[in-house]
């Protein structure tokens, strides 16, 4: 199993640009989530999904969109990037009812 994969590894955007961070898992996990990590703030939940077609907001959802059309994929979209979205983004997945999460390697995003 590849586990949780994320692409790209690094990305630089200009303010106002849009992009999609990709996340995929091959463990047939129902639950997937996106976190952002900022210095001194730990990981904060952006959006999560408990299954295909079902998404919900986390702690810091503004400026981000998600969709879940398949069990495997959970892309995170930035429609109009802002410097405040400069961060490291982690995708995670787990089985529903089992809280142990498996994390991807992260995407480091810089918005100029």
Binding site for other proteins (CB under 8 A): 31, 33, 35, 40-45, 48, 50, 58, 90, 92, 96-106
Cβ–Cβ under 8 Å, residues 38 and 28: no
Is the Cβ of residue 79 or residue 98 nearer to other proteins in the bound state? 98
Taking the CB of residue 35, how many other CB atoms lie within 10 A of it? Answer: 24
Judged by CB, which is closer to other proteins: 38, or 79? 38
Give least dist CB 72 to other proteins, A.
18
Q: How far apart are the first and last CA of the chain?
A: 36
User: What is d(CA 86, CA 97) in angstroms, rounded to the nearest whole number?
Assistant: 32
CA distance linking residue 48 with residue 57, whole number of Å? 6
Q: Closer to other proteins at the Cβ: 54 or 82?
A: 54
Least Å distance between CB 74 and other proteins? 14
């Amino acid at each position: 199993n590849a586990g949780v994969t994320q692409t790209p590894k690094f990305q630089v955007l200009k303010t106002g640009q849009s992009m999609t961070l990709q996340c995929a898992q091959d463990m047939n996990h129902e639950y997937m989530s996106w976190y952002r990590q900022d210095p001194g703030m730990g990981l904060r939940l952006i959006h999560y999904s408990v299954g295909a077609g079902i998404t919900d907001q986390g702690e810091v959802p503004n400026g981000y969109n998600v969709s879940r059309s398949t069990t495997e994929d959970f892309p995170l979209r930035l429609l109009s990037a802002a410097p405040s979205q400069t961060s490291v983004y982690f995708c995670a997945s787990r089985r529903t009812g089992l809280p142990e999460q498996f994390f991807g390697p992260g995407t480091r995003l810089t918005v100029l």
